[in-house]
Structure 1
Amino acid sequence: MERVVSIDRVNNLVKKSDFISRDLSWLKFNHRVLDQARHLDRNIFERLKFMAITASNLDEFFMIRIGSLYNYIDYGKERIDYSGLRELPFRKKLLTEAQDFVRAQNEYFIKRLRPLFAENQFKIAKISDLDEDQKEKVKNYFRKTIFPMLTPMVYDSYHTFPILMNKLLIFGVVTVSQTDKKDQKKLSFIQVPQNLPRFYEIEHNGEILFVPIEEIIREHIAKLFRNIEIQSVNLFRIIRNGDFTLEESDDIEANFLEELKRKLKTRKTGRVVRIEVEETCDRWMLRILKNRWEIDEDNVFRAPEGGMIDLTGLWSIVNHTEFKDRMPDRHPQVPPLSYSEQGETDIYEVLDDRDILLHHPYNSIEPLLELLDRAADDPDVLSIKLTIYRLAKESRVTNALLRAAENGKHISVLFEVKARFDEENNMREARRLQKAGCFVIYGISSFKTHTKLMLIVRQVEEKVTRYVHMSSGNYNEDTARLYTDLGLLTTNEQVCNDVSEFFNAITGHSIPTIYRNLITAPRDMRQQLIELIRKEADNARQGKASGIVIKINSLEDRETIAELYAASQAGVKIKLIIRGICCLRPNRPGLSENIEVGSIVGDFLEHSRIYYFHNDNDPILYSGSADVMVRSFDRRIESLFLVQNSLLKQQVINILRYNLRDNVNAYIMNEDGSYTIKESTGEPPFNIHKEFYEVTLDDIQDAKLF
């Protein structure tokens, strides 16, 4: 039996700690995403999009982070969070915060968003809202399409408890049989088929009625229980633990993939960590579920009247063809500043002349795809090497590599088949490449390959040229329109040597002595970044110019945070732009007075990583795939690349400068871990998600951070 946990004592411990819990910080991030649904300058479809994102975010949070916590609880392992809390008090705190979030989410959806549906020509309709003809259509749809797919599963003394699927809508139906005196009350489960549309659509007087599939089933559920009294019909949904750790396999080619498949299947039967129910659900049924899954009221999330279980279903409305013209038009992408003649010149000639910095999504991914397409068909290209973490569903990258293999080129691809929730797609694409004759590597032992690198080798007569691409983002042309990322295309010999050595290390058995332009993990990334931080602290102590600006997704590594605290105490001005998790406390007296933390959440997902060290007025700049996290430093293959070219350095400095200027999408992190919207202080709106489309060479020339 879990001991009683005092939430006041828990809150006091959290407040005292010099570090903020990763998971509590993540919940604060999802509040910032929910804020996007509150923006009155967005139309209803944009706002519903952000509401759906918060719901899918929360599902993943429970599957992975709460699931991970339960791995400790269920197997009796000790865990002390950054906030200083042990497993059970931390569980209480985390679930209490999650309950608060869900209440805010439901309240805003019901009170502020649903009332706007009618004026936008649609409605999430109840059966009672329909006229007789419409009800007849719904009845026919149930009879012909839905009814044959439904399978009631009774649970009683004669039938075992069925396996209920993760993230599906499920009905729990409590029935009574007058003929069975021994066991009158029974519980049956009906899972809503996942391959049915979430809504049945009816067009009426210029309005689209979205009738939820669950309401159609509820209306006609008696058809499945003939001559039986139905006491209650209860809709619910469960989230199961999806956190797993792959064991190292000796036989990478066969056993590794089989092990992965087995682990993927456990996501369907892992322990239940969350249950969404209707506010009026049957208490007898809920007691059975809680006992069965060993959860308590903290794990139960109630959807109030007018709410909706599983708000990810809103995507069906957001993506509806009828409303395509209601979503804002995307700004046309602009050429990179260092490649203004994009599309007019030969990509080889341009790269032989200069480096290109791609800033997505403002710059298209097309120059990279153009280079890859050219290389696939170019008889002078000898080989292509590439790391892949996530791909688009209809990937031009895969198609180019297949074509290159068919043209007899040597193709080496390191596929990260452990990329969370993309495992099956990655395995499928990897097999396609392998069948075409590509040399495919399915990850490196227990490390997850997160680095983004490409190397093309081309020989014209006696001259061999290597073309390298290094990036913070994936080789995914879909997300390149939605995520902000940096990519560098270069033929610089020093950089190419480093990348060649790095590929030899990750595809073979090589341990390079030193890289001149790369910082890599799991080798020495943490230590090199710490040394750069310490150098700034030394400069500050000596009265030299110092400063640090870091833009990343997450800051969690305790050792690095401790060094940032020490640098702050030495007098270094530190500005952090962190989209999501931040375990550092800014502005704490005696600890971090010189550290500011901001977060930008808006139309694009901030995904680029940039590390700036002022270095006594001779800035050192890195970009790449790695965040400041334990997993990035110790359990992933990552890389950061040095930005050397003076023009590109100014461009990256300006990217940081614009991020710091943003007063539309920006939040300021407070010492207690909360966030407040950044005030404009009388300045005109500055929205980086618009301003970066307009930036010119003149804008970046004098860009400074300190």
Structure 2
Amino acid sequence: MPKSKKTNPAINLSDAQYYINRELSWLQFNSRVLHEACDERTPLLERLKFLAIFSSNLDEFFMVRVAALKQQVEAKVNLLTPDGRTPQQQLDDIRSYLNPVVTKHNEQFERVLQPLLLNQGIYILDYIELNSKQRSYLDHYFKEQIFPVLTPLAVDPSHPFPYISNLSLNLAVVVKNPETEEEFFARVKVPSVLPRFLPLPSELGLQNNGKPVYWTGIPLEQAIAHNLEYLFPGMNIQECHPFRITRDADLELEEDEADDLLLAIEQELRKRRMGGTPVRLEIKSQTPEVLRCRLLQDLELTENDIYQVDGLLGLRDLMYFMALPLSALKELPRQSVVPYRLQRLREPNIDPDLLELEEGKDFFSIIREKDLLVHHPYQSFSGTVERFITHAAWDPNVLAIKMTLYRTSGDSPIVNALIAAAENGKQVSVLVELKARFDEENNIYWARRLEKVGVHVVYGLVGLKTHSKIVLVVRREKDRIRRYVHIGTGNYNPKTARLYTDLGLLSCREELGADLTDLFNFLTGYSLQKSYREILVAPVNMRDCFLGLIKREIENVKNGFSGRIVAKMNALVDPEIIAALYDASRTGVQIDLIIRGICCLRPGLKDISENIRVISIIGRFLEHSRIFYFYNNTQEEIYIGSADWMRRNLDRRVEVTTPIKDQDIAKDLQEILGIMLADNRQAWELQSDGSYIQRRPCDNCPEANSQKTFMSMALRSTNMT
């Protein structure tokens, strides 16, 4: 019998107290990244990697998010966020949060990891720790390899303060003329074209009680700082202090006024290379007050823009040490496998005289048998998605290939396959999203290469970023045309496919092929398509469809049945979706959210979100897949796609999410969600106050690491019979 209907007292679900600030939530995410560097269970060199990722993440946060807030303050924009903060309040809260975290970040390297590295034969030394032979070697190396690259820049009435490029490491140098006793200020840029860490030859490495020494060296800036007399001959070097600048790096593009989008973005990229307004100054805590004030004045910054540390600046460069061949200090090598069904494939024959593939052994026959789900990086990207596009490029029966490219690698095999397809006479259309942040230059390069071989290249839509991950292959088969599709959650980038967890569906279902045909007509031509057979498309119908799916769970509970939602994504920010989830929770719908990064929803609030639980999984791979499950009164529905539940994804981007119709694949996705919800090693539980608590295995309970589980499952799947 259905349960009796539940009624709730009226509550204003848009009240600011029910929302977590977006920026502070992101900072919490980056703190979880930092925790991996602090966790003794993480292999030593992986801990260095997480320090570097934390630093790189924070750089981008300042270049984009903090820069935007500072612009709003300068423009006197005081619009409140859903959690009730003004731009200035957010800047103040960001600084309050970051000060102790930045200190922790640097102390972890200087006080914890450096001694551990020494014990393992990795000596990252200060110049003053070197012996005479080592100093002699580095001084010679400086004269031969470093000195010719350096350009000291004086600052005086006839030499204005020099332009300091974004993310550059610099030395602020004070010199004195011994004849006049007059002091001068100069800036020396630490060149990024040289390695940040200078290794010594193995014969000059330190010995550690007979233990092997794998690396000995110093940071580049120290080699420069201790040889400044060559840059300022005849002057007395008074002092030298490193500093680092972060600038606004977001593009300001007026698309409506751009006659040529590619040209407009190239012009903006030239401005970015110069860099925008400074937004952060990093210095060492020992920097004298007079130098500190000088830098603030010349950079037009305030005390609130300074972040000071005890130790090295720019720890993103610690990624250098991941190249050391020390497998015992790293995670076990990643093993990507080819799905069992694809192991039967022959490679396409690219000999123009022997283009026929063996009947029944081509990629397309495998997809015709049954839809195929691929799970990266546990299953090989090159052996699945790349292979699909390569087969399409060389298959004589393929007539057309259409796809979207948001981000790809600098040596993209996929783009090379598209070029081959065009040269093979196929109709190839590619939407290259030129506005993909920090990948604009790479995408311009590929767009031009594609155009040169006759590919129809579209640069995106005015006012919208095309973030969808879709491929459509049109093939002639006997007396009919059949369409094959790939709809994914991640970029067509073989490099990030080794580091990000993503999903993709390969199918030849007619409804999906027809939907993608309509969508590409919208992307490349003039179309006012408002409805699709199966796929959800932002900004057309996705928001309304997701709200409708949530509302259906609410109605089922109101009618006395069970309601259940499980959603995995990168970020949950959209206030309308959050309010709908609160409404569902208050009705009795059970909701589990797996959100890697930003989550503005507060779980566990009495009478608001008591039925909502939120976890974040931070591990070896960056969780990037999006999965959406709705119980639907036992008629379960599950979707995968490119969109997070953010305003930008639902309203300002072209996104695609597809329903999963194959019941076996649907069960596989439910299993993936269940394994992640049971994670007690890499999962963090969001508390109602916005803080996170990391799960730990209970006494006598085994550790459940979801990413390791997926690696084991993938390996076992290759042995299926």
TM range, normalised to the smaller chain? over 0.9
Q: Which of these residues, 231, 240, 246, is aligned with residue 233 of structure 1?
A: 240
Alignment equivalent of 1:648, drawn from 645, 662, 665: 665
Contact 2:338 2:384 in 1 (8 A): no
Q: Is the 8 A contact 1:336 1:357 kept in 2?
A: no
1:466-513 CA deviation, whole Å, 9 max, x = no partner? 110000011111221211111000000011111111111111111224
Show the counterpart of 1:7.
Answer: none
1:350 pairs with one of 366, 369, 375: 366
Structure 1 letter corresponding to 2:276: G
- Give, in whole Å, the separation in 1 of the partners of 2:673 and 2:607: 27
Hey, what does 1:5 align to over in structure 2?
none
Encode CA deviations 1:443-480: one digit per residue, 9 max, x unaligned. 21121110000001111332211110000011111221
Q: Could you report, residue by residue, the CA deviation over 1:244-297 in whole angstroms, capped at 9, with x for unpaired residues?
A: 332114655xx3122212222333331111111111112112112212333222
Closer, same or farther in 2 for the Cα pair 1:529/1:676, shift >3 Å? same
Who is 2:678 aligned against?
Answer: 661
> CA–CA distance in 2 between the matches of 1:139 and 1:340?
56
Distance 1:99 1:697, change over 3 A: closer
Contact 2:198–2:219 (CA under 8 A) maintained in structure 1: yes
Q: What is the alpha-carbon distance in structure 1 between the residues aligned to residue 36 and residue 714 of structure 2?
A: 29
1:19-30 equivalences in 2 (<5 Å): 19-30=19-30
Contact 2:556/2:633, CA 8 A, preserved across alignment? yes
Structure 2: gaps spanning 5 or more residues: 1-14, 348-360
Contact preservation (8 Å) 2:378, 2:714: no
Mapped pair 1:277 → 2:280: no
Cα distance in structure 2, aligned partners of 1:180 and 1:597: 67
Aligned-pair identity in percent equals 38
Question: Could you tell me which residue of structure 1 aligns to residue 189 of structure 2?
Answer: 191
Equivalent runs, 1:409-428 vs 2, <5 Å? 409-428=426-445
Match of 1:434 in 2: 451
List alignment gaps of at least 5 residues for structure 1: 1-14, 700-706
Structure 2 counterpart of 1:300: 306
Q: Deviations over 1:587-621 (max 9, x none)?
A: 01121111100000001110000111111111111
Contact 1:96 1:298 in 2 (8 A): no
SS at match of 2:313: coil
Q: Identify which range, 34-43 or 450-459, moves more after superposition.
A: 34-43
CA distance in 1, matches of 2:716, 2:112: 44
Provide closer, same or farther for how the CA distance between residues 259 and 550 of structure 1 changes in structure 2, counting only shifts above 3 A. Answer: same
Residues 542-691 of structure 1 aligned to structure 2 (within 5 Å):
542-682=559-699, 683-691=701-709
Distance 1:387 1:561 in 2: 29
Tell me the distance in 2 between the aligned counterparts of 1:41 and 1:642. Answer: 38
> How many angstroms apart in 1 are the aligned matches of 2:271 and 2:21?
27
Verify the 8 A CA contact 1:389 1:475 in the aligned structure 2: yes
- Alignment-derived partner of residue 377 in structure 2: 361
CA distance in 1, matches of 2:46, 2:120: 12
Is the 8 Å Cα contact of residues 614 and 685 (structure 2) preserved in structure 1? Answer: yes
Listed one character per residue, the Cα deviations across residues 326-376 of structure 1 (whole Å, up to 9, x for unaligned) are 433334324447667567943211111110000111111212222211111
Quote how far apart the aligned CAs of 1:100 are.
2.0
- SS at 2:505 equivalent: strand
Q: Does structure 1 conserve the Cα–Cα contact (< 8 Å) formed by 2:16 and 2:82?
A: no
Tell me the TM-score normalized by structure 2: 0.91
Q: Which residue of 2 aligns with 1:266?
A: 271
CA distance in 2, matches of 1:323, 1:600: 27
Stretch moving more, 484-493 or 687-696: 687-696
- The amino acid that maps onto 2:317 is G
Give how far 1:144 is off: 1.4
Contact 2:337 2:379 in 1 (8 A): yes
Q: Does 1:311 align with 2:311?
A: no
CA distance in 2, matches of 1:174, 1:548: 62
Amino acid at match of 1:191: K
2:231 to 224, 228, 235: 224
Instruction: Indicate the residue corresponding to 1:167 in structure 2.
Output: 167
Cα pair 2:44 2:329 within 8 Å, conserved: no
Over 6 Å off, 4+ runs: 696-699
AA at the equivalent of 1:176: K
- Displacement after TM superposition at 1:640 (Å): 0.6
Q: Would you say the 8 A contact 1:65–1:243 is kept in 2?
A: no
Question: Which amino acid is the alignment partner of residue 646 of structure 2?
Answer: M
Give, in angstroms, the shift of residue 77 of structure 1: 2.2
Q: What SS does the aligned partner of 2:151 have?
A: coil
Equivalent residue number for residue 487 of structure 1: 504
Q: 1:16 to 1:107 in 2, by over 3 A?
A: farther
Q: Does the CA contact (< 8 Å) of 1:597 and 1:668 recur in 2?
A: yes
Partner SS state of residue 713, structure 2: coil
Q: Answer whether contact 2:37 2:47 (CA < 8 A) is retained.
A: yes
SS in 1 for 2:450: helix
2:78 is aligned with 1:73: no
1:370 corresponds to which of 368, 384, 387: 387
Distance 1:113 1:617, change over 3 A: same
Contact 1:556 1:628 in 2 (8 A): yes
Q: SS where residue 695 of structure 1 aligns?
A: helix
Deviation of 1:176 after TM superposition, in Å, equals: 3.3
One-letter code aligned to 1:297: E
**Structure 2 counterpart of 1:524, which letter?**
N
C-alpha contact (below 8 Å) 2:617/2:623 kept by paired residues: yes
SS of aligned partner of 1:473 = coil
The farther-off stretch of 371-380 and 609-618 is: 371-380
Task: Name whichever of 327-336 and 577-586 sits farther off.
Answer: 327-336
Structure 1 residues 695 and 343, CA, compared in 2 at 3 Å: closer, same or farther? farther
Once the two structures are overlaid, the 10-residue window that deviates more, 78-87 or 662-671, is 78-87
1:381 positional shift: 0.8
Alignment of 1:305-344 (within 5 A): 307-320=311-324, 322-323=325-326, 326-336=329-339
Q: Are the equivalent residues in 2 in contact too, given 1:386–1:414 (CA < 8 A)?
A: yes
In the alignment, what sits opposite 2:96? 96
**Equivalent position amino acid for 2:69 in 1:** L
CA RMSD of aligned residues (A): 2.0
Verify the 8 A CA contact 1:335 1:342 in the aligned structure 2.
no
Aligned residues: 678
Distance in 2, Cα, partners of 1:437 & 1:250: 27
Instruction: Provide the TM-score with structure 1 as the length reference.
Output: 0.93
Q: Deviations over 1:20-68 (max 9, x none)?
A: 1111000000111111112323321111111111110110111111011
CA contact (8 A) 1:336 1:356 kept: no
